[in-house]
Chains A and B, each alone.
Chain A
Amino acid sequence: MKSAWTMLGLTLLAASLAAAPARAGDTAEPPPPCEVPAYLLSTENALPKVTEAVKANRPLSVLVVGSRSSTILGNEPSAYPAKLQAALKEALPSATVDLSVELQGKSTAEDTAGTLVKLVEAKKPTLVIWQTGTVDAMRAIDPDDFRAAIHDGLAALRNAGTDVVLVNLQYSPRTETMISAPPYLDNMKVVATQLEVPLFDRFAIMKQWSDAGYFDLFSTSHGVDLAKKVHACLGRALAKFVIDAAHLGPVQQN
């Protein structure tokens, strides 16, 4: 509902949003469609290696590097990396999609950046999905240091010859009074723009879902169901994002 208002405000400001779905809270009942506004899934930055590999019918090898929010403990097959792989396979039926996950639970961006080159040398991925920022925000790392670390990590990956997609923090309303996400979100956006790396805005997307009433992210439920649903949607959205960034044709997209 809130998003309807937000959208309304934005539409008034920019007619270009006219096509955006301004839906009210009446979507609570049907299964979550986890729709994402187009602007959150489109990027100006390309993934040339991915495009090349798919067009040449070479296997597409994806490496997800992330912290604990890249998995659901005990339910790895339901976490977003596995869902991403499934969605990519579905969208690119002729391609082979390999995917591996490298979890670095308590590493800051700086810690991880140092390991990226070795990882790439070992696994030779076409595409690295780098999810980061949460640990840094929780430890309140100096945003300048954080920005430098992201910059170094992305540059190293580029030099190593892979494509990169950067994934930012989760939207976590319950911990909003304790974790200050904005500086880290901003810096990731800045570096991604600078280095022309596609940024998957997980925070904005999850916030959008919460505002639209698809998911109750405030929920205190101890069950794993919500996590599974959210990850399934994230995986699908991320697949769309990758396909769009790699310009793999509107045929597969929807």
Chain B
Amino acid sequence: MSSIADPIAGSPVAEAKAEAKAKAVAASPAITLPAAGERELRLDLFRGLALWLIFIDHLPTNLLTWLTIRNYGFSDATEIFIFISGYTAAFVYGRAMLEAGFLIATARILRRVWQIYVAHVFLFTIFLAEISYVATSFENPLYTEEMGIMDFLKQPDVTIVQALLLRFRPVNMDVLPLYIVLMLFLPLILWLMKWKPDVTLGLSVVLYAVTWQFDLYLSAYPNGFWAFNPFAWQLLFVFGAWCALGGARRMSRILSSNITMWICIAYLVAAFFVTLTWYVPQLGHIVPKVIEQWMYPINKTDLDVLRFAHFLALAALTVRFLPKDWPGLKSPWLRPLILCGQHSLEIFCLGVFLAFAGHFVLAEVSGGAVLHALISVAGILIMCGMAWIISWYKHSADKGASKKGAGGNADLAGGEA
């Protein structure tokens, strides 16, 4: 979205745009950007979907939880979110780098990082308020041990500083710090991509392998580690960037082959059955013990290869069966999802906040399945409403204030990166 992302058009840069673009493309034939044209609605759609699913997964298990993809395979909404973030970030800032140079693109990326950081700190404040309340009102002898987790409230000085350093991250607040770190490295990634995209992707794979081999991680406070290891998850982000900068086009032959399709289907079906055994232990025997021992645990922290492969299979099938010009993308039914996807930072933060609020309501009001499901649905409606308001601000309320043309490049890639 242009208010947060990048006013590329309308700046002096825009005038020199065509010329610069021609030059840049000539100078670096290594990457190609998709032609500026219609907005890629599929990205918005799936990012919106990922935001909904992340919200539902953050709530206590309920009826809607059974609709989230993590129940039917290895990967979950986080993979979709990080991949699309990599894709759109590369699209928006890659263009900026080609047109306005490394320095300008880096400056814009850093501004974006700052915005995400501020959003994270804002969420932390809300979290702190919530658990301070829980800590003072809750003293159930059954949970004497678990309540020890509140001990950090005894040292707010240390805790808050650690939170500002991104080292103290409560449960459910792990995605934004990961995103911040990945975005910090985006200038480097794009700079390398401009030089040789395939080598960049290769380096990313090497870093991933080294992470697994030597167990690299970032430590957290008071102890432990980052729940999403950036050294491993960068692979998905860089892969997204690589696809955005021409990789997807070069892969199109592989993607449209029938062999790929059947491999993907076979893998997804196998993953589905394995997942089924988690929920229906009686079916445990369908997975041979040898495979079980090799496969488990499926590590989310370090983006297990099985998860990555599961995401690839899903993505490949999606690209194949959901064409870019599918008329359904313009249907009013999908509009709410797409709107949410177009304002992902705001909606993501709202989702985390609503999840906290949902936990709170469920804890205060003892309700059954109906209340659980109601809270999930209400949360999603609030997210849609907010997305609609934000886009109204952008298209109507802010129109006079900003002189940006509607054709700002940031818009085309699926809004903010």
* Stretch of A155-163, A167-175, A240-248 on the interface side: A167-175
- Inter-chain contact A17/B63, CB cutoff 8 Å: no
Q: How far is the CB of B176 from chain A (nearest CB, A)?
A: 16
A5 to B362, CA, bound (A): 18
Contact of B282 among A2, A16, A183, A220 (CB under 8 A): A16
Q: Say whether A53 faces chain B, with CB atoms less than 8 Å apart.
A: no
Q: Say whether A193 faces chain B, with CB atoms less than 8 Å apart.
A: yes
- Inter-chain contact A180/B283, CB cutoff 8 Å: no
A127 to B368, CA, bound (A): 39
Instruction: Report how many A-B pairs have Cβ atoms within 8 Å.
Output: 150
Contact of B217 among A10, A13, A142, A223 (CB under 8 A): A142
A140 to B368, CA, bound (A): 31
Residues of A within 8 A of B144 (CB): 68-69, 73
Q: Give residues of chain A (51-108) contacting chain B, Cβ–Cβ below 8 Å.
A: 67-69, 72-73, 75
Contact of A140 among B215, B224, B283, B296 (CB under 8 A): B224
A174 to B362, CA, bound (A): 9
Closest chain B residue, CB of each to CB of A147:
B297
A16 to B293, CA, bound (A): 25
Q: Say whether A109 faces chain B, with CB atoms less than 8 Å apart.
A: no
Contact of B297 among A13, A16, A72, A143 (CB under 8 A): A143
Q: How far is the CB of A135 from chain B (nearest CB, A)?
A: 8
Report the interface size class on chain A.
Answer: 35 or more
**Interface of A with B (CB < 8 Å)?**
1-2, 4-6, 9-10, 13-14, 16-17, 25, 39, 67-69, 72-73, 75, 134-135, 138-144, 147, 170, 172-180, 183, 186-187, 190, 193-194, 213, 216-224, 226-227, 230-231
**Interface of B with A (CB < 8 Å)?**
60-63, 66, 127, 130-131, 134, 137-150, 170-172, 215, 217, 220, 222-225, 227, 276, 279-283, 289, 292-293, 296-297, 299-301, 355-356, 359, 362-363, 366, 368-370, 372
What are 23 A-B residue pairs whose CB atoms fall within 8 Å in the complex? A1-B368, A5-B63, A13-B276, A14-B280, A68-B145, A69-B145, A72-B142, A143-B301, A170-B146, A172-B146, A174-B134, A175-B149, A177-B131, A177-B170, A177-B172, A180-B227, A186-B296, A193-B293, A218-B362, A220-B137, A226-B141, A227-B140, A227-B142
